Amino acid sequence: MDLDTKWVPMKWPCGPLEIARRSRLRSFSPELKETLEAWAQPSALELLKGSPVNCLVVDWANGKPEDSAQQQALKPLLEAGLWHGISFVGRVAMKDGAGAAVAAARAAGLSAVLLRYASGQSFELPAIMQLSREKAVGETVSTIFCTSDNVWPGVNLETLDEESARAGATANPWVDSNAWFSLLAGALEPGKTLWLDSDPPDSSSLLHPANYGLAVADSRAYGSRWVISLDDKLRGALPKGDPRAKGVWEKLCEALAFFETHRDWQAFQSEGTLAVFSDFRGEDAYFSGEVLNLLNRRQVQLQIVERSRPLPAPDQELKAALWLDKDAPSAAQLGQFLAFVRQGGLLIATAYWGPPEVKPTQGEPSLHYDLYNLGSGQIAVAEEGFQAPDQVAVDAHLLLSRRNDVVRLYNRSTVNCHSSVDPAHKRRVVQVLNYSVKPADSVTLWVNDEVKSARLWQPGTNQPVTLQGVATSPGMEFRLPPLSLYCALEFEGATL
């Protein structure tokens, strides 16, 4: 039995283990206990009828006395779910004795286990590793792997309170997103599927529910999958038929169904004229991750490359390479970089590794970079090394130049986008996300292409709308309709 990368996973907290864990918290209440008991009943699976959800993640064992009671309590739920074609993944959170728990999971019909601790053992049931972000990238992991230290996407502090938002260093609202990490995982673990484990913020009512559709879009648009998780109020209200809770669930399922319909987009290649190189691990992990995060916030479309790997192929229109680490490239790789620069490329680095006879010239004084002219290109070296991730992101974009942008968004303080391509069929899709609870009006998308029209897709619609572009010099502009959550523009015949 193999892991199914097409699973649409959802957390299903219930039973004695979850009750015991939550009873130690001050927020525990009789109502919550009733909810956790109700979700262990087969009747709770009625919620999934007609939804794309086909995989439930349940607590199975954590080395506590309640393990046996938990597994007994789940039996009716498992039997009913398996009969309806639902797969189950059991969370095993114990350092020792995992083998017996996995064997019990296999006997109970579970499809896989989610392991919090690596045991070094091999099991007769497929295992999904749950790792920290630092350990999840570039390591040998399962076909599906999961991280838990993720952010809840949205404008900071605005998700459940429309009146407040924290501004970032640019005075724009600060947007929390897992986009950069999804791109990093996809680049360093190609062919594998990342599950993002992230719980919604607590809600005191259903009037301002968490933006579940955004959590779906923030993962799927960038190549990962969010493990669906509902807040306590919503979980308690759904079995009672609350109409507002039902509306929230239907919108969530609408977003899931949309991305399942357009699953082929996830096989597209991330587009970008900037390649970012780093080890992305250990002491390099925080700095490089922040640079990726901030470049993404600036809508810089980029390619992520682990530093031991070669430059992207020449046909990918690469204009610049950003080498983030203090360690120099290998001799072979340095030769590639110097050839790239001589042919007109730009290398941005914290130190100079080029021919010693080449002397620097002073670049733009405000940038504090020395420029080394080599062939038709340049090497830009930070005068004092890379100091702060936000400054590196700003400098890299300025050195790359806006003329090398792939896409741009105008009137977009809380909106971001991701451009990806299918070169074989000359298709491009630009996915646009609004991270605010307020609709984004008057947003315009510019693309560096002469394609005159695009198909506009949005969740909840079965057919696209044709948008006509307005020619600029260069490229085309597309005026987007008011954007509550997400849209995608699909271009065919693009110049790639």
Taking Cα atoms as reference points, which of 232, 238, 163, 243 lies closest to residue 203?
A: 232
* Rounded Cα–Cα distance for residues 85 and 190 (Å): 28
Region of residue 208 (phi > 0: left; psi between -120 and 50: alpha; otherwise: beta):
beta
pLDDT of residue 166: 46
Cis upstream peptide for 360 (omega within 30°): no
Please say whether the beta carbons of 295 and 396 come within 8 A: yes
* Rounded Cα–Cα distance for residues 117 and 98 (Å): 9
pLDDT of residue 494: 59
| Sign of CA pseudo-dihedral 360, 361, 362, 363 | negative
* Rounded Cα–Cα distance for residues 263 and 34 (Å): 37
* Rounded Cα–Cα distance for residues 272 and 421 (Å): 10
Q: 380 vs 6, 336, 471, CA distance in Å?
A: 43, 16, 34
The interaxial angle of helices 67-83 and 15-23, nearest 10 deg, is: 130
pLDDT of residue 236: 94
Q: b/e for 409-435, b at 16 or more Cβ within 10 A?
A: beebbbbbbbbbbbeeeebbbbbbbbb
Kindly list the averaged pLDDT for each block of 10 residues, start to end, along the chain of length 496. 88 96 91 95 96 98 93 97 97 89 95 85 88 78 90 75 46 84 93 94 70 96 97 93 94 97 93 94 90 95 93 81 94 94 95 93 80 95 93 95 94 91 89 94 93 95 94 94 95 70
Residues 6+ apart with CB under 8 A from 150: 178, 181, 196, 197, 198
Rounded to two decimals, what is the model's pTM?
0.93
List the domains of the chain with CATH numbers. Answer: 9-266 (3.20.20.70), 272-404 (3.40.50.880), 407-492 (2.60.40.1180)
Angle 50-53-59 from CA coordinates, rounded to 5°: 135
Extract the tokens encoding 369.
């970079």
Please say whether the beta carbons of 435 and 154 come within 8 A: yes
| Sign of CA pseudo-dihedral 39, 142, 94, 61 | positive
pLDDT of residue 162: 47
